[in-house]
A and B are shown apart, each in its own frame.
Chain A
């Protein structure tokens, strides 16, 4: 094992993102209540809970996607590798390069597959053709879709199936070499085969990225996440090892939700 491997080994499991006493208000509505959580490096963390529990809101606070929502007020801190991401000095473009997001509905840009992937790197100033070619290939390989699209890179991304489009979106997120990937119900619009491809992909990606997913699919959370957080009415009720949480939940509300007896 090299020194570098040692370093990676050490860092695996340490907190990349951390929220402390995080409160979020949409006007008068109190959407997140005193959330304290450490998101661990190179692990898949699943956020689960009923609709309106705050899990997507929480995910969006991690890359400041709530900033543009009118009437939002945030208290407490969210730090990324020790730095408060809501500090005035933070460059949001820099932050979102570190922390990529994949949404529920595949949203490729209306341009070629190649240009979809090259879009981010070009924004960050990369113009060299062979460098861009490399990034496009590596990103598409990373998202397990290279073989399916390598002969049609100049064709529109909109001509692909939903599952392929979603992997293009993942490749697009990977192209700027982020540190963290956030996925908001990234498979809920996909058929079972596309879903299992993305699940396999997530398991592969976690050796290199820290991944946070929001999912309504309990079986998916058990299959692919290492850590799991259960939210209810804006509160983080329980957070821990996924196998433990789904075998012996500590809180009755968690048990009622995951066993389908909530409400």
Chain B
């Protein structure tokens, strides 16, 4: 029963996984380009996120059509409404990766990116991957791990901010670079927040309840 609907839900699941994979690739490219700046990688990240915009529209349209035609309840409603919310987080992750890639190209000429920012990038990357794993496998435990990891990223952001304030104080010439770096750090901190959102929607898929932030 409901063969057509089940097929549609499977396609929706596949589209979500494709888009999630693109988000994972984007953050991998960003992490790599922060470690060793590379024009090609930065351009790839930008192109990838343009596709993600298209994916976002397609997934939204499918979800809205399924809500209208199938009037889903219970697990089906959770799957579709979670997809509708998560797709925005995935797309934002893509956007932020593209922005970081762009800035990191300019920065590369002026020396390596501070360790703490690279660490933020690695941590945000593993949060995104773990959150997507939690969603794809409906793993509540993994989702809670992601939520728990966010504090470390926030703490790193505060450290980076402190370091950059010191840098500006000590060397006024570095102010431009420091501002670019703080923007990157802020994007990374936001990416980690999006990973937390995805983890929360993964929990919602399983339990039906929306956890307080």
Residue of B nearest to A222 (CB): B73
In the complex, which residues of chain B have a beta carbon less than 8 angstroms from the beta carbon of A218?
71, 73
Choice from A219, A244, A247, A261 contacting B1 with Cβ under 8 Å? A261
16 CB contacts below 8 A, A to B, read A218-B73, A246-B77, A247-B73, A247-B208, A249-B74, A255-B74, A255-B75, A258-B74, A259-B2, A259-B72, A259-B73, A259-B74, A260-B2, A260-B5, A261-B2, A263-B1
In the complex, A87 has a CB within 8 A of chain B: no
Whole-angstrom distance between the alpha carbons of A67 and B53 in the complex? 65
Give chain A's interface residues, CB within 8 Å of chain B.
Answer: 218-219, 222, 244, 246-249, 255, 258-263
Supplied contacts A219-B71, A259-B2, A259-B76, 13 more A-B pairs, CB within 8 Å: A218-B73, A247-B73, A247-B74, A247-B208, A248-B78, A248-B207, A249-B74, A255-B74, A258-B74, A259-B72, A259-B75, A260-B2, A260-B5
Residue of A nearest to B70 (CB): A260
Whole-angstrom distance between the alpha carbons of A263 and B2 in the complex? 11
In the complex, which residues of chain A have a beta carbon less than 8 angstroms from the beta carbon of B6?
261
* Segment 1-57 of B: residues with Cβ below 8 Å from A: 1-2, 5-6
Interface size class of B (residues with CB under 8 A): 10 to 19
Residue of A nearest to B207 (CB): A248
Whole-angstrom distance between the alpha carbons of A261 and B73 in the complex? 12
Cβ B73 vs Cβ A258 within 8 A: yes
CB distance from B115 to the nearest CB of A (A): 44
Whole-angstrom distance between the alpha carbons of A260 and B2 in the complex? 7
In the complex, which residues of chain A have a beta carbon less than 8 angstroms from the beta carbon of B5?
260
